[in-house]
Amino acid sequence: MESASNHDLLVVKNLRLHFKARAGVVQAVDGVDFKLRKNQATVVIGESGCGKSSLAKAILRLLPRNVDTYDGQVLLNGKDIMQYNTETFRREVRWKKISMVPQAAMNALNPVMRIGDQVAEPAMIHMGLSKDEALKSALQMFEHVGVPVDFLHRYAFELSGGMRQRAALAMSLITLPDLVILDEPTSALDVLTQANIMNLMKRVKQELETSFILITHDIATSSELADSVAVMYAGQIVEVGDAHSFFAEPLHPYSKSSWPVCHVCERQ
């Protein structure tokens, strides 16, 4: 087990995140186990409300106010980041090791700050770059993800949805983190832009050797990027598999029930 963790970038063991709600406790993430190797992309598939986004939040410790239970183990490069205190977690993990592209990248950008400043911000904090250097590396990232360079000085409301999504992606990559968590990064975009962004992520994965956790309910587009697949249902991961064999033949009854969808996408 210990030797295996050398290859594993991220090992999640029995991670739980429960919320207090009016009618009781919501077990959004309820004992999740999975592993992610370096430079690998795992797709977490599941229906709306199954706890996918909460899983992303739980890994990055972005907790809402009504948390009931939050425990388990998250090993990043063999170290349990759940044991870190808030300040260490902020300095060592957030964006330095793990970054994210949020579900609604539309609202993920500060409306009154220039895009460039927001993208450059993590580089200044975590890499100790000066503002000019950070903007320069933001510019490089913009080129990487195909955002025009002069957008550096624009505001979020001046960008189209696809451009904002790319800016968010550039922001997630600027510190060259080991892992990027993408929370339905393309769900609000049209099919063409979706395909563009998926291609882009494929390229980024090859060029920058980043690992991805791609959270989505869109099996068709995600199958392109995925090395492995985790099916999430009611707060638990019910099946983990190699992407190829999963799309060919899912095992869990729940996966099987959604298999016709996969079947169609494989044939395409």
Partner 1 sequence: MSQEAFNLDVEVDVESIESSSRKARSETVKRLARYTGLKLIALFLTVVAGVYITIIIANMGGHVDEIRRGVIREQTVLALNADLQFRQLPEAERTAILDERIALAEKRFGLDQPFILRSFRYLTEALTLNLGFSEFLISDSGSRLVRNIILERLPSTLVLFGTGNLILFFASLSVGLGLSRRYGSFWDKFILGMAPTSSAPGWFYGLFLILIFASILGWLPFGGMVDAPPPENPLDYALSLMRHMVLPIGAIVINAIFLNAYTWRTFFLIFSSEDYVDMAKAKGLTDKMIERRYILRPTLPNIITSFAFLLINLWTGAIILETVFNWPGIGELYFRSIGAFDTPVILANIVVYAYLLALTVFLLDFIYALVDPRVRVGQKGE
Q: By the criterion CB under 8 A, which residues form the site for partner 1?
A: 60, 62, 65, 90-91, 93-96, 99-100, 102, 104, 107-113, 121-122, 125-126, 146-148, 150, 155, 157-158, 160, 162-163, 171, 196, 199-200, 203
Nearer to partner 1, 60 or 243 (CB): 60
Nearest-10 Cα torsion for 79, 82, 109, 107 = 130
Nearer to partner 1, 220 or 234 (CB): 220
Nearer to partner 1, 96 or 136 (CB): 96
Q: What's the min distance (Å) between Cβ of 2 and partner 1?
A: 29
Q: What's the min distance (Å) between Cβ of 223 and partner 1?
A: 17
Q: What's the min distance (Å) between Cβ of 54 and partner 1?
A: 13
Nearer to partner 1, 76 or 231 (CB): 76
Nearer to partner 1, 70 or 155 (CB): 155
Q: CB within 8 A of 128, min separation 6: which ones?
A: none
Q: What's the min distance (Å) between Cβ of 214 and partner 1?
A: 17
CA dihedral sign of residues 249, 181, 49, 17 = positive
Nearer to partner 1, 74 or 231 (CB): 74
Q: What's the min distance (Å) between Cβ of 147 and partner 1?
A: 8
Nearer to partner 1, 131 or 256 (CB): 131
Q: What's the min distance (Å) between Cβ of 265 and partner 1?
A: 20
Q: What's the min distance (Å) between Cβ of 207 and partner 1?
A: 12
| DSSP state string for the chain | -TTGGGTEEEEEEEEEEEEEETTEEEEEEEEEEEEEETT-EEEEE--TTSSHHHHHHHHTT---TTEEEEEEEEEETTEEGGGS-HHHIIIIIBTTTEEEE-S-TTTSS-TTS-HHHHHHHHHHHHS---HHHHHHHHHHHHHHHT--GGGGGS-GGGS-HHHHHHHHHHHHHTT--SEEEEESTTTTS-HHHHHHHHHHHHHHHHHH--EEEEEES-HHHHTTT-SEEEEEETTEEEEEEEHHHHHH---SHHHHHTHHHHHHHHH-
